[in-house]
Structure 1
């Protein structure tokens, strides 16, 4: 049912053929400038802190892919929750004969965000050709585990914004903070003070999204096999906790007629 709702969203956008295409092209062009900016900066120095252009570009594009993929599914549904509650439209998701969370997410899948997903994935794939990575089956599997964990970690922050809207009736403020703080992981954690590295690893685990998977692939010091599995574990636990918090909010929601 969930993927059927997602497909219906995509089909609906495809009805506006040229408009949808232009929207995707404009979106890709706009965000491609971020990658150009990385090239301009690194090109001036050759390497920064022992990191080459393609290493930082992979770090940047992996973070971008994770953000785009998680946001395509979760950003819009969590964003509109406060609007629905203020206007008495949230009730329809709870009276439907299906999981309200799944129904809300599936109905509000952002079809045009696929352009961001494609751009991030393509940039990662191209960058890999320029990196001296020694591939093994185990490394591939562990990287996939870390990537899945990264998606769940970033997704959990988005779900948190929706969950707290049951109490605050506003989810957009936290989502804006999430957007503005994203650039911090576009660069290696080793560039930052030790205190910030600890915060971004253990308390606000943004570093787990792209930094540790990247240094694992590049065989840099600081990330072993167990850390990749740990990223998946953290993602599962964090997303599960935020999902439960969302349903806890549902239990206190009194509806439009209260």
Structure 2
């Protein structure tokens, strides 16, 4: 399955670099556009100095982690984000008659390499903020950082997959999902304790962004008040969130009725 997926990716890459100037301009644009948001963050700290008890580089680290997770998800799971097109056109019927997983085929139907420009920008901010923080790195902190990124990727991917699954009943994609993808991305770039309590509770127990940025970040920065192991393990909530999203997808596939297009 991995071999087939990489063949999909290779074909998509060849098709997207046919017009190289367009490809590189889009990649650069994807890298520069989010900088306007980061510039706003920088100027806010220049004016006020701190955000509650958070310094600029602590928030920048939070920004970088979520940026990397979202960028990876947007590139890798783009097929699910555009899935409604397959349902409306009836092209999903072709995927069903092929002897391969529908998940694999939808993943391989779309991969936007230009989106990796956003990933580069997020990685630069991530590394820059780490270099400017007095963090004493250990193996466990390195593992925790990795889990934060991977499980953040799973949360965003889970939302894309759940939204795609809803297309089996709604046909068209629902714009409200952007509240949890784009809105969730912007919200999660900041520590959750700056928001109202109901926002913190929602993004901890319903969509667990808090578990992949705020709580493990407290451990990374040495700000915990309790058992460090619990803070280290909170990113695993991303895996728990991803499971029912995949289940919803498989239920949707079983209930799919062709549009007849």
TM-score, normalised to structure 1, is 0.92
Unmatched runs of 5 consecutive residues or more in structure 1: none
> Which one is further off, 90-99 or 180-189?
180-189
Equivalent residue, structure 1, for 2:192: 189
Equivalent residue, structure 1, for 2:17: 14
> Which one is further off, 93-102 or 37-46?
93-102
Shift of the alpha carbon at 1:174?
3.4
Distance 1:243 1:158 in 2: 10
Answering whether residue 63 of structure 2 is matched by residue 60 of structure 1, we say yes
Unmatched runs of 5 consecutive residues or more in structure 2: none
Distance 1:169 1:25 in 2: 34
SS in structure 1 at match of 2:205? helix
Shift of the alpha carbon at 1:15?
2.0
Equivalent residue, structure 1, for 2:229: 225
Distance 1:255 1:85 in 2: 8
Equivalent residue, structure 1, for 2:102: 100
Shift of the alpha carbon at 1:30?
1.2
Return structure 1 stretches of 4+ with deviation > 6 angstroms: none
Matches within 5 A, 1:169-188: 169-178=171-180, 179-188=182-191
Answering whether residue 162 of structure 2 is matched by residue 160 of structure 1, we say yes
Distance 1:79 1:142 in 2: 28
Distance 2:50 2:59 in 1: 9
Matches within 5 A, 1:65-76: 65-74=68-77, 76=78
Shift of the alpha carbon at 1:257?
4.2
SS in structure 2 at match of 1:56? helix
Answering whether residue 203 of structure 2 is matched by residue 200 of structure 1, we say yes
Shift of the alpha carbon at 1:52?
0.9
TM-score, normalised to structure 2, is 0.91
RMSD: 1.9
Distance 2:162 2:239 in 1: 14
Shift of the alpha carbon at 1:152?
0.8
**CA deviation string 1:180-226 (max 9, x = no partner):** 34322222111122332222211221212322232221111258333
SS in structure 1 at match of 2:135? coil
Equivalent residue, structure 1, for 2:45: 42
**CA deviation string 1:63-118 (max 9, x = no partner):** 111111111112x3223322221221111111122111111112211211111111
Distance 1:93 1:200 in 2: 34
